[in-house]
Structure 1
Amino acid sequence: MQTINTGNHRTEGSLIPGSLSRKKILLKKLVSELGNSCSADLGIDLVSMQSDEIFKWFVASMLLGVNTSQHVAIRAYREFEKAGLLAPERLLTADWQSLIDTLDRSGYIMYNFRTATGLIEATWTLNQQYQGDLNRLHFFANDEADLERKLQGLGERVTPAVVRPFLREMRGLWEKAEPPLAKDVLLALEKLRLVDTTSPVLALEELRIQWEDSGLNQTQLSVLETALTRLGRSYCRKMKCDKCPMQTECRAVT
């Protein structure tokens, strides 16, 4: 049985050989079925740690963080990509109407002005304070909490709904990128009986240990986190058990 050390707390997980074997199989199936990261799906190379690639993911996160469908947000990103609007200098020198038109083409009719304003404000602040470089912002952050504060400080539209998904895929790349597990992840973990706690902190530590023991740790933990997010959001929360790729392993079914 493994001991999870979380600073002031120590708890014993249920990683006995039998359950560990089951969890290894579960993790591999999760990654296989649902594990493509959103950034990778968009063709963004975060692993390179290049500032221009990280900025692309920031723009995508801004688009995904708006109260609209993921399909529309992805279409908007593709429109920005075609228009060459995925670099700070290009966004700051773009004609205002061209930004609105780009968002309109993707279906952002209700949020076009708000989204364009948010992108320009955040990019302008990033340029003024960190020379347009998100890696510099990370460098100057004192810790995980300060990193979130600095990102949200870029503009009014850089909300937790933008910052948390952005940081989720930076986990394992940026040292200070340690966002709490999302509610959808915790829901999926509970349904699959992968952890024995409802605490986001303890659940993350237990999940990290399982990830390292699974043999999948040659890729990012965020890949598993993305799979759990999709499972929780698209299946568990909507109770689409009959269509779920993990239904045979689910507490609600078995």
Structure 2
Amino acid sequence: MRAQETVQRLLDDEGSTLAARAGINLENKPAPLYRLLVLVTLLSARIKADLAVSAARELAEFGTAQKMCDATWQQRVDALDRGHYVRYDESTSTALGKGAQLLIDRYHGDLRRMRAKADGDLDVLRELLTEVPRIGPVGADVFCREVQLVWPEIRPFFDEKALAGARKLGLRADADALAELVEGHDLARLATALAMTS
């Protein structure tokens, strides 16, 4: 019972996903999935999460791979600057442009095609995500942590950062045990809240 109380308190205090904080209504559709990938790209730099979230909100106008690709480098820099993402604005603008082009070339701009290519294999999905410029293994974990809301085949997903947060709160650092503490639609919220705790 204590574990469920701890989890409920955590969800009450910190229980929103990073996507939700960035204004992304995550659905299994190209635009919201792409906006999540942009957020993960921003989070992959050494920058505070709230700055990445703010910049992701500013980049919402380029909410598909095609729109991001069509935007000029300067338009992307300007949006990043409006979100106060100024330290890495130029290199990130370049990475976003290259990432959008990669998605168009390989997946017709639709991350659901990447999902289909992974065919339910989490390791393959994580590897495909790291082919996107700027996204490394940690960024792939953030994406999986968030996208489990709409891609149930990867549930329950608790990366090492989320498991570290569980240990810190005295919870069992085991994905299946943590999943038993919440409903399926709350897994992404719990994983994000735990990661923010670590």
Task: Calculate the TM-score normalised by the size of structure 2.
Answer: 0.89
Q: CA deviation at 1:144?
A: 0.8
Q: 1:179 to 1:22 in 2, by over 3 A?
A: closer
Q: Which has the larger radius of gyration?
A: 1
What is the total number of aligned residue pairs between the two structures?
197
Confirm or deny: 8 A CA contact 2:21 2:53 kept in the other structure.
no
1:169 aligned counterpart, secondary structure = helix
Q: Name the counterpart of 1:28.
A: 8
Confirm or deny: 8 A CA contact 2:162 2:194 kept in the other structure.
yes
Q: Name the counterpart of 1:242.
A: none
Q: 1:184 to 1:146 in 2, by over 3 A?
A: closer
Match of 1:205 among 163, 170, 176: 176
Match of 1:147 among 125, 128, 133: 125
Structure 2: distance between partners of 1:178 and 1:65: 22
Structure 2: distance between partners of 1:134 and 1:87: 10
Q: Name the counterpart of 1:160.
A: 137
What one-letter code is carried by the residue in structure 1 that aligns with 2:129? L
- Structure 1's unaligned 5+ residue stretches are 1-20, 198-202, 212-216, 233-254
Over aligned residues, Cα RMSD in angstroms? 2.0
Match of 1:56 among 26, 35, 45: 35
Structure 1: distance between partners of 2:152 and 2:25: 18
Structure 2: distance between partners of 1:85 and 1:136: 20
Q: 1:179 to 1:121 in 2, by over 3 A?
A: farther
Structure 2: distance between partners of 1:117 and 1:161: 20
Q: Name the counterpart of 2:65.
A: 88
Q: CA deviation at 1:206?
A: 1.5
Confirm or deny: 8 A CA contact 1:91 1:123 kept in the other structure.
yes
Runs of 4+ deviating beyond 6 Å: none
Q: Name the counterpart of 2:58.
A: 79
Q: Name the counterpart of 2:195.
A: 229
Identity of aligned residues (%): 27
1:193 aligned counterpart, secondary structure = coil
- Structure 2's unaligned 5+ residue stretches are none
Match of 2:45 among 47, 62, 66: 66
Confirm or deny: 8 A CA contact 2:40 2:135 kept in the other structure.
no
Matches within 5 A, 1:78-227: 78-81=57-60, 84-142=61-119, 143-155=121-133, 157-177=134-154, 181-195=158-172, 203-211=174-182, 217=183, 219-227=185-193
Matches within 5 A, 1:10-29: 21-29=1-9
Confirm or deny: 8 A CA contact 1:118 1:158 kept in the other structure.
no
Larger displacement relative to structure 2 (179-188 or 138-147): 179-188
Structure 1: distance between partners of 2:156 and 2:38: 18
Task: Calculate the TM-score normalised by the size of structure 1.
Answer: 0.71
Q: CA deviation at 1:179?
A: 8.5
Confirm or deny: 8 A CA contact 1:147 1:177 kept in the other structure.
no
More helix by share: 2
